[in-house]
Amino acid sequence: MNQKTLFHVTAYVCTMAMLVIISVGAAYAADLPEIKKRGVLRHLGVPYANFVTGSGDGMDVELMQLFAEHLGVEYEYVETGWKNVIGDLSGKKVKPKGSDVDILGEAPVRGDVIANGLTKVPWRQKVVDYSIPTFPTQVWLIAQADSSMQPIAPSGDINADISAVKELLRGRTVLGKANTCLDPALYHLEETGAKVILFDKSLNQLAPAVINGEAEATILDVPDALIALEKWPGKIKVIGPVSPEQEMGAAFAKTSPKLREAYNEFLEECKRDGTYLRLVKKYYPAVFAYYAAFFEKK
Which string of DSSP letters, residue by residue, matches 137-164? E-EEEEEETT-S--PPPP-S-HHHHHHH
Equal CATH topology for 26-136+247-296 and 139-244: yes
Identify the pLDDT of residue 27. Answer: 47
pLDDT at 6: 44
pLDDT for res 1: 52
Close Cβ partners of 166 (under 8 Å, ≥ 6 residues apart): 189, 192, 242
Burial of 9 (0-12, 13-18, 19+ CB in 10 A): exposed
Query: b/e map of 11-36 (b: 16 or more CB within 10 Å)?
Result: eeeeeeeeeeeeeeeebbbbbbeebb
C-alpha–C-alpha distance, residues 127 and 252, integer Å: 9
- Which of the four pLDDT bands, split at 50, 70 and 90, describes residue 298? low
Q: Which of 116, 255, 89 is nearest to 180 (CA)?
A: 116
> When comparing pLDDT for 50 and 297, which is higher?
50
Instruction: Tell me which residue of 206, 234, 204, 200 sits closest to 219, measured CA to CA.
Output: 206
Alpha carbon separation from 256 to 30, 76, 89, 118, 266 (Å, rounded): 6, 18, 10, 18, 16
Report the pLDDT value the prediction gives residue 10, as an integer from 0 to 100: 45
Residue 125 scores a pLDDT above 60: yes
Q: For 196-222, what is each residue's pLDDT tens digit? A: 999 999 888 999 999 999 999 999 999
The domain segmentation of the chain, as residue ranges, is 26-136+247-296, 139-244
pLDDT of residue 237: 97
Q: Could you read off the pLDDT of 127-137 as tens digits, one per residue?
A: 999 999 999 99
Q: Which CATH number fits domain 26-136+247-296: 3.30.930.10, 1.20.1300.10, 3.40.190.10, 2.170.8.10?
A: 3.40.190.10
Please report the pLDDT score of residue 297 as a whole number. Answer: 66
What average pLDDT does the chain have? Answer: 90
Per-residue pLDDT of 182-201, as tens digits, reads 999 999 999 999 999 999 99
Q: Per-residue pLDDT tens for 221-255?
A: 999 999 999 999 999 999 999 999 999 999 999 99
pLDDT-based confidence at residue 98 (cuts at 50, 70, 90): confident
Is it the case that residue 14 has pLDDT exceeding 80?
A: no
Q: Are 250 and 263 in contact (CB under 8 A)?
A: yes
Asked if residue 24 has pLDDT above 70, the reply is no
> What are the pLDDT digits (tens) for 156-179?
999 999 999 999 999 999 999 988
Cα separation values, 112 from 84, 241, 298, Å: 14, 33, 26
Bridge partners for 77 per DSSP: 43
| pLDDT on residue 97 | 83
Percent of the chain with pLDDT over 70: 90
Residue 180 half-sphere exposure toward CB, CA atoms < 13 A: 27
Q: Which helix (H) or strand (E) holds 283?
A: helix 275-283
pLDDT of residue 279: 98
Residues 6+ apart with CB under 8 A from 259: 30, 31, 32, 35, 112, 113, 252
Task: Give the residue with greater pLDDT, 255 vs 21.
Answer: 255
Reported confidence tier of residue 99, pLDDT bands at 50, 70, 90: confident
| CATH architecture assigned to 139-244 | 3-Layer(aba) Sandwich (3.40)
**What is the pLDDT, as a whole number, of residue 179?**
84
Rounded to a whole number of angstroms, the distance between the first and last alpha carbons of the chain is 70
Cβ atoms within 10 A of the Cβ of 104, count?
11
pLDDT at position 23? 40
Q: Is 79 helix (H, G, I), strand (E, B) or coil?
A: strand
**Greatest extent of the chain over all pairs of C-alpha atoms, in Å:** 86
Q: How confident is the model at residue 108 (pLDDT cuts 50, 70, 90)?
A: very high
Burial status of residue 156 (CB atoms within 10 A of its CB: 0-12, 13-18, 19 or more) = exposed
